[in-house]
Each structure stands twice: as structure tokens, then as C-alpha cells.
Amino acid sequence: MNRTLNDIIPPSRRRTLEEDGSGAPPAMPPRPLSDRPSKPPRSPRSGRGFPYGTALIALIVIAGAVAALMYFSGAKVEVTPETKSATVTADFTATAGSGDLPYELVTVEKTASQTVPAESSENVNDPASGKITITNAQAAPQTLIKNTRFQTPDGLIFRIHDSVSIPAGGSIVTMVYADVGGANYNIPATTFTVPGLKGSKAFDQVTAKSTEAMVGGFSGTRASVSQGTRDAQNATNQASLEKTLSADIVSKVPAGYVLIPGATFVTYVPQPDTEAETGKVNVNQKGTMTAVVFPGEALGKAIAYKVIGAYNGETVTLPDVTALKLLPALNIAPVSGETTFTFNLTGTTNVVWKIDTAKIAGAVAGKTRDSAQVILQGFPEVSKASLVLRPFWASTFPQDPEKINVTVVESKVAE
């Protein structure tokens, strides 16, 4: 059944429309704007705006990480030198001041004194004595025989008690003794000529000088002790001198030289007694220690040639020689003027190859890690090498060797 508009208008409303005659419902007045429903609020979209703050923080963190990597970047090579244990039983000949195995003499002197009660008195006539340095400016060595005279500008005569030989263009140090006793010869440092050479060219070319005063000259009566007392006190003097001389000789060894046990020689010479306070006597004794020292690298090479088969003359060092023992061929120390020194060496030591850090840096500069490792394996002085490149993406060492840090680590002995 079809329905019309009138079917859905209530009867009371329909009557009003009929009376009006229009047959249509009146228009509805417009609603005020305030009564109109407002638009529903927009729902917030996800990611409202660009997160500039978060992005900035992330950039700062990344930049800091990169800066830290660059700050701690670098190239490092840690090298372990080749080391061999050497057992030595061999004879060697060293040359004074030159050659493949040179040697030097180091000498120290000390005087010890013991004060004891006087036991008697004696008349004495002691000569003064002291050291002089004799220089030879000639092109040939000069030999001076025992008792050769040396004269001061004032005419005082001193003599040597043993023959000496002064090398061409060189000098030696020796003891001289006053020709007569007495305090007049206790003179300060001075110069000397050799009267026996007068009239020859050598007179002006062989000269001498002292650097310390002459001492010990005395003539007259003084308090004294018996020989037995003197010997007993000098035994105490020797014990004291041995300790001080040994300590002093070690401090005198030149840098780069080594002192081997058995290479020191000591002599003790009783000195004239001197008066102490009233009724007492000073018993004096002088000790002289001479050491034969060798450049550590030269001695290391000499030992390596003797006992290490695969050695080709590389530079090596001897970190510790205390387990070696030196025995002179003649069982005496060499003296100034001698040109060679023959000795036997026994014991054990470690021979360590010397690392030239600049050479290592230059060899690996600009190379990849693998190439650098292969190159260093060809160095006989290198036992092991550890290579470090930073940051992690670096694949080659810097072209500039100065930017490569090379360090040498302690090696273990390879038998």
C-alpha cells in the first residue's frame, strides 16, 4: 500500500495545513549559529611535525663517536727482537781503542788509612810521588826506559820506576817519584820536560804534566809502628779498599760498555806512615783497580760469530754478562801503551738482536697489514711483530714513517 505525505503528518498538523490552504508545511526558521553543532575535532596524526631535537642528539652522538675514533686512531708496531742463548768457551783478542773488538782501560785509585798508637820513632827520608800524563806528538811510538827523568820548570827531578811506551799521537798516565826525599817535592800540579831527549826533535814533542799535587814527601823523625802492626792494619785497609774500588769502577764504565767478571785487576801499595794526633800514627795504603771494558755491541758480535751458526753480522747486544768469566792469557791486566789484549771467555749469556725502530717504521710505511707482516718476517732481527691499525676501517699504514709508533718488547730466549 502506497503511503503519501499526509499519511505521515499528524492529524493536528494536517488540519493546520489545510486551513492555511498551502498544503505544505511552513518553513522552519534557521537555527542560530550558536545552536549549530561544531565540527568534530581532528584526530591527532602520528609523528606530529619533524623530530628535530632527536635528530640533533643523534648527529652529536655520531659526530662524537667519529671524533673519538679519529682521536685514538694510529698505527702501531710492537716488535720482539730475536734472542739467542750463547754458551761461550773461546779465546778472543781485543785491540786497544779500535778494531772489530776494541777495549778500553778504566782505572780508579783510593787510599785507606788506619790510626793506631805509636810504638816508636824513626828517621825517614820519603820521596813525594804522584801521577803524570805523558804525551807523544810524534808520528811514531816513543819508549822511555826505567828511571827516565822528568823535570819541573823549577828544576825538581822526578823519575818513573818502570819503562813505558807512548803511542804515536797518544798519551799514557804513569807514576813518578821524587829524586830525593823531603816535603819540598810536595808540589802542586805542573808541567815537565824530559831532559834525556834534549837535543833531539822528540824533546819538544814528548811532554808531560800532572793534574794533582805530588804528596808523601817527608824527611826527619816521626812516630812509627812495627812492621807487624803495619801489616795487620793494611789488611784492614785492603778489605775497605776492595769495596770502595769495586763500586767506583762500575760507576766509571763508559755508556755502552760492559764490564765482565774477572776483568778487574787490583794492586795494593803501602804508603808512608803519617803522624796523626800526638802519640798516634796513620798507617796508609793505596789501592789501584784497573778494569778492561768492551763495547757491548762489539763484544756481542764477537761472541755471536763464535757460537751462533746462523749469524751474519747484525747488530746485537748483551743485556747481562754476569754469568760470563774472563781470564787473561797472561793472568795480568794490560798496561797503557799495549796494543792488544788476549783473553779466554767462558759462561753463558743472551745475545739480543738490536732493533732500529726508524728502519721498521720506514719498511712498513704505506703498506697493507698483510704486506707489512711479510716484510718484517724477512728481518733477521725480528722474532715477532704485532701490527695495529686504528680506526678499524684503516687498511694501510701511513705513508709518513713518523706517524707509525714502533715499540720494542722484551724477548724470550730462543734455544
Averaged pLDDT, 67-77: 62
Q: What is the residue range of 149's domain?
A: 126-222
Confidence check: pLDDT of 129 > 50: yes
Confidence check: pLDDT of 7 > 60: no
Contacts 24+ apart (CB under 8 A), 411-414: 411/80, 411/81, 411/82, 411/83, 411/352, 411/383, 412/80, 412/83, 413/83, 413/84, 413/85, 413/350, 414/82, 414/83, 414/84, 414/85, 414/383
Is residue 105 in some structural domain? no
Tally the domains of the chain: 1
The cell for 50 is: 619533524
Task: Give the separation between CA 5 and CA 3, rounded to whole angstroms.
Answer: 7
Interacting residues of 102 by C-beta distance below 8 A, sequence separation 6+? 94, 95, 96, 294, 295, 298
The cell for 219 is: 824527611
pLDDT in tens, 372-407: 999 999 999 999 999 999 887 888 999 999 999 999
CA 220 to chain centroid, in Å, comes to 54
Is residue 238 in some structural domain? no
CB 197 within 8 A of CB 206: yes
**Closest C-alpha to 324, from 289, 353, 352, 351:** 351
Averaged pLDDT, 77-84: 94
CATH number where 195 lies: 2.40.30
Is residue 331 in some structural domain? no
Is residue 288 in some structural domain? no
Averaged pLDDT, 54-60: 71
pLDDT in tens, 223-265: 999 999 999 999 999 999 999 999 999 999 999 999 999 999 9
The residue with greater pLDDT, 373 or 55, is 373
pLDDT at residue 73, as a whole number: 47
Q: What is the pTM of this model?
A: 0.68
Averaged pLDDT, 337-345: 89
Is residue 172 in some structural domain? yes
Lowest mean pLDDT among 1-10, 146-155, 157-166, 388-397: 1-10
Residue identified by cell 779466554 is 344
pLDDT at residue 394, as a whole number: 83
The residue with greater pLDDT, 211 or 67, is 211
The residue with greater pLDDT, 148 or 124, is 148
The residue with greater pLDDT, 355 or 47, is 355
Question: Percent of the chain beyond pLDDT 90?
Answer: 69
**Closest C-alpha to 318, from 358, 291, 345:** 345
Lowest mean pLDDT among 85-89, 175-179, 301-305, 386-390: 386-390
Do the bridges between strand 257-258 and strand 218-224 make them parallel or antiparallel, or are there none, so unpaired?
Answer: unpaired
Residue 101: C-alpha distances to residues 133, 289, 293, 331 (Å)? 26, 22, 11, 20
Is residue 163 in some structural domain? yes
Averaged pLDDT, 89-95: 95
Task: Give the separation between CA 320 and CA 287, rounded to whole angstroms.
Answer: 28
Confidence class for position 54, pLDDT limits 50, 70, 90: confident
Confidence class for position 68, pLDDT limits 50, 70, 90: very low
Averaged pLDDT, 131-154: 96
pLDDT in tens, 275-316: 888 889 999 999 999 999 999 999 999 999 999 988 999 999
Task: Give the separation between CA 85 and CA 308, rounded to whole angstroms.
Answer: 9
Q: Which residues pair with 389 in a beta bridge?
A: 75
Is residue 135 in some structural domain? yes
Reported residue count of the chain is 415
Is residue 287 in some structural domain? no
Interacting residues of 191 by C-beta distance below 8 A, sequence separation 6+? 152, 153, 207, 208, 209
pLDDT at residue 239, as a whole number: 93
Mean pLDDT over each residue of the chain, to the nearest integer: 86
The cell for 246 is: 769495586
The cell for 31 is: 537555527
Confidence class for position 333, pLDDT limits 50, 70, 90: confident
